[in-house]
């Protein structure tokens, strides 16, 4: 989906923050938020890609209201989708924790997705050889994604060069929707900054990891 | 579905979720504490700093690290979530690498811990793939025009870590002294390591 999360190249966010040596959790609730998110995929019977897709579906104003805020709401969306919690339940419990005597809505009926997994982690071996070799020129897809993808907007319809063949991995675009792990070859693809941002771009090279279905041979 | 118009204080949302999950036995206090302690105390940039200091002092280790980051980092005992496949990018006087995740905030946890605020911030995520030289200058890292910049956007499960340049004047420093100089920011590629 073309959501707020796909930020590469967006303008208007202002200066970068100062390089402070902040601890992982500025406040105790942030640590607890981290753990809820870290366990959300297991609790909901889903996976890492579905969690990322849930964070991407956090409404933009909430997405921009802090990292642990979007992380927590993403975890909640993931668990809502599997019938572990409802938003009504969370809000009622929050009200009760704040001292308001509101009724607790009923618990939902869990309905976890069923997707076979070939094991832990995301790396998978493939019997088929990779379609591209180091040095090949490739063109990225012209996607109109309704669901999850790891091909960002700024890298679509662009021509680059394969610089490394990376380990084949679970395909996020299908795993996030429980269609299947559908492992794919993955490549480091390098782009000239002018291919991405036009002739007046700062000179640099950008490398991004791209799954084989995103790529076709460059003409 | 969560409505954007009804913002709930995130600390309160976390408390509410934690209490709902706890009463169904889906989360417990001990697990929460263990997770938090792990990422507050054991998993952080001090791990990556050891990797860098070893690479600076042991040429054979450095070669292994650049050839197979996952295995070489594993030699020092660092592995786990968000470190399934590690690639190490070596900075030189001619080439400077910098790492980002534009789509979320992917980060090499086993060597760097959890990402700092600036890495997760929209300004960094949006801009470093478009105007990296300007972004680095804003952070205080002015690179000569002759230095080639290479930006890595972490969009798969591969995680990238930068091997910074060893600062001049540290020829006699021990591995332990060197590791104390290495910062998280240098291992992402937004700063240099400086001699004391």
Query: Is B104 a residue of the active site?
Result: yes
d(CA A5, CA B122): 9
Residues of chain B with CATH 3.90.330.10: 44-188
Would you place residue A173 in the very low, low, confident or very high pLDDT band (cuts 50, 70, 90)? very high
Residue A94: which of B13, B87, B121 has the nearest Cβ? Answer: B13
pLDDT at A20: 87
A16 with B135: Cβ contact below 8 A? yes
What is the pLDDT of chain B when averaged over all its residues? 95
Mean pLDDT, rounded, for A23-35: 95
d(CA A134, CA A132): 7
**Interface contact A186, partner B, CB < 8 A:** yes
Query: Is the confidence at residue A206, as pLDDT, over 50?
Result: yes
3-state secondary structure B42-84: HCCHHHHHHHHHHHHHCHHHHHHHHHCHHHHHHHCCCCCCCCC
pLDDT in tens, B67-102: 999 999 999 999 999 999 999 999 999 999 999 999
Mean pLDDT, rounded, for A130-147: 95
B14 with A72: Cβ contact below 8 A? yes
**Interface contact A163, partner B, CB < 8 A:** no
**Interface contact B84, partner A, CB < 8 A:** yes
Quote the minimal CA–CA distance from B47 to chain A in Å. Answer: 15
pLDDT in tens, B7-56: 899 999 999 999 999 999 999 999 999 999 999 999 999 999 999 999 99
Residue B39: which of A24, A166, A208 has the nearest Cβ? Answer: A24
Domain B44-188 in CATH 3.90.330.10? The answer is yes
What is the pLDDT of chain A when averaged over all its residues? 96
**Interface contact B120, partner A, CB < 8 A:** yes
Residue carrying structure tokens 């937004």: B190
Helical segments of B58-174, H only: 59-67, 69-75, 109-112, 117-120, 122-127, 132-139
**Interface contact B117, partner A, CB < 8 A:** yes
On whether the CB atoms of residues A84 and A77 are closer than 8 A, the answer is: no
Mean pLDDT, rounded, for A79-98: 96
Residue A206: which of B117, B129, B135 has the nearest Cβ? Answer: B129
**Interface contact A40, partner B, CB < 8 A:** no
A21 with B17: Cβ contact below 8 A? no
pLDDT at B5: 55
Distance separating the N- and C-terminal Cα atoms of chain B? 53
On whether the CB atoms of residues A20 and B116 are closer than 8 A, the answer is: yes
Residue carrying structure tokens 């795993």: A175
Query: Is the confidence at residue B4, as pLDDT, over 70?
Result: no
On whether the CB atoms of residues B71 and B123 are closer than 8 A, the answer is: no
**A164: which DSSP letter?**
E
**Interface contact B104, partner A, CB < 8 A:** yes
Q: What angle separates helix A48-56 from helix A28-44, to the nearest 10 degrees?
A: 120
Q: What is the pTM of this model?
A: 0.96
Look at the alpha carbons of B13, A57, A10, A36 in this order and tell me if their dihedral is positive or negative: positive
Collect all residues with Cβ–Cβ distance below 8 Å to A150 and sequence separation of at least 6: A172, A173, A209, A210, A211, B103, B155, B156
Collect all residues with Cβ–Cβ distance below 8 Å to B128 and sequence separation of at least 6: B98, B100, B135, B151
Instruction: Give the strands of the sheet with B95-100, arranged side by side.
Output: A215-217, A137-140, A159-169, A184-192, A205-211, B148-153, B95-100
B14 with A32: Cβ contact below 8 A? yes
Mean pLDDT, rounded, for A156-175: 98
Share of chain B above pLDDT 90, in %: 95
Mean pLDDT, rounded, for A27-42: 96
Query: Is the confidence at residue B2, as pLDDT, over 60?
Result: no
Query: Is the confidence at residue B1, as pLDDT, over 80?
Result: no
**Residue A159 token pair:** 């021509």
**A105: which DSSP letter?**
P
Mean pLDDT, rounded, for B139-154: 97
On whether the CB atoms of residues A138 and A189 are closer than 8 A, the answer is: yes
Residues in chain A closer than 8 A to B46 (CB atoms): none
The residue annotated as part of the active site, out of B19, B104, B126, B155, is: B104
Nearest C-alpha neighbor of A38 from the set B16, B10, B26: B26
d(CA A205, CA B100): 13
Between residues B115 and A143, the one the model is more confident about: B115
Residue of A nearest to B115 (CA): A24
**Residue A181 token pair:** 């792990």
Share of chain A above pLDDT 70, in %: 100
| ipTM greater than 0.85 | yes
Residue B173, SS3 per DSSP: coil
């Amino acid at each position: 989906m073309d959501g707020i999360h796909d930020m590469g190249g967006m303008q208007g966010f202002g200066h970068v923050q100062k390089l402070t040596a902040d601890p992982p959790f500025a406040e105790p609730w942030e640590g607890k938020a981290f753990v809820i998110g870290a366990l959300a995929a297991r609790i909901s019977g889903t996976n890492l890609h579905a969690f990322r897709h849930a964070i991407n579906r956090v409404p933009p104003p909430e997405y921009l209201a802090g990292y642990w805020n979007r992380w927590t709401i993403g975890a909640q969306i993931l668990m809502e989708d599997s019938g572990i919690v409802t938003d009504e339940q969370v809000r009622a419990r929050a009200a009760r924790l704040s001292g308001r005597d509101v009724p607790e809505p009923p618990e939902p009926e869990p309905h976890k997705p069923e997707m076979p997994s070939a094991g832990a982690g995301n790396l998978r071996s493939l019997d088929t050889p990779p379609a591209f070799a180091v040095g090949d020129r490739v063109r990225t897809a012209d996607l109109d994604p309704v669901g999850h993808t790891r091909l960002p907007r700024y890298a679509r319809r662009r021509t680059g060069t394969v610089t490394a063949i990376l380990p084949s991995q679970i395909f996020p675009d299908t795993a996030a929707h429980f269609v299947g792990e559908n492992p794919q070859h993955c490549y480091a693809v390098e782009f000239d900054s002018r291919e991405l941002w036009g002739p007046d771009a700062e000179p640099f090279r950008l490398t991004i990891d791209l799954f084989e279905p995103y790529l076709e041979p460059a003409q | 579905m969560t409505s954007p118009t009804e913002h709930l204080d995130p600390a309160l949302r976390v408390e509410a979720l934690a209490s709902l999950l706890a009463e169904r036995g889906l989360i417990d206090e001990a697990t929460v504490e263990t997770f938090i302690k792990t990422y507050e105390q054991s998993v952080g940039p001090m791990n990556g700093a050891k990797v860098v200091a070893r690479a600076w002092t042991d040429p054979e280790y450095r070669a292994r690290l650049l050839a197979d980051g996952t295995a070489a980092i594993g030699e020092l005992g660092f592995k786990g979530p968000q470190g399934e496949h590690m690639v190490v990018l070596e900075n030189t006087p001619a080439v400077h690498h910098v790492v980002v995740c534009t789509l979320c905030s992917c980060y090499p946890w086993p060597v760097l811990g959890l990402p700092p605020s600036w890495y997760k911030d929209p300004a960094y995520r949006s801009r470093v793939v478009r105007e990296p030289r300007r972004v680095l200058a804003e952070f205080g890292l002015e690179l000569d025009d002759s230095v080639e910049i290479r930006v890595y956007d972490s969009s798969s499960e591969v995680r990238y870590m930068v091997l910074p340049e060893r600062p001049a004047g540290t020829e006699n420093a021990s591995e332990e002294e060197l590791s104390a100089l290495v910062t998280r920011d240098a291992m992402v590629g937004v700063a240099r390591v400086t001699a004391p």
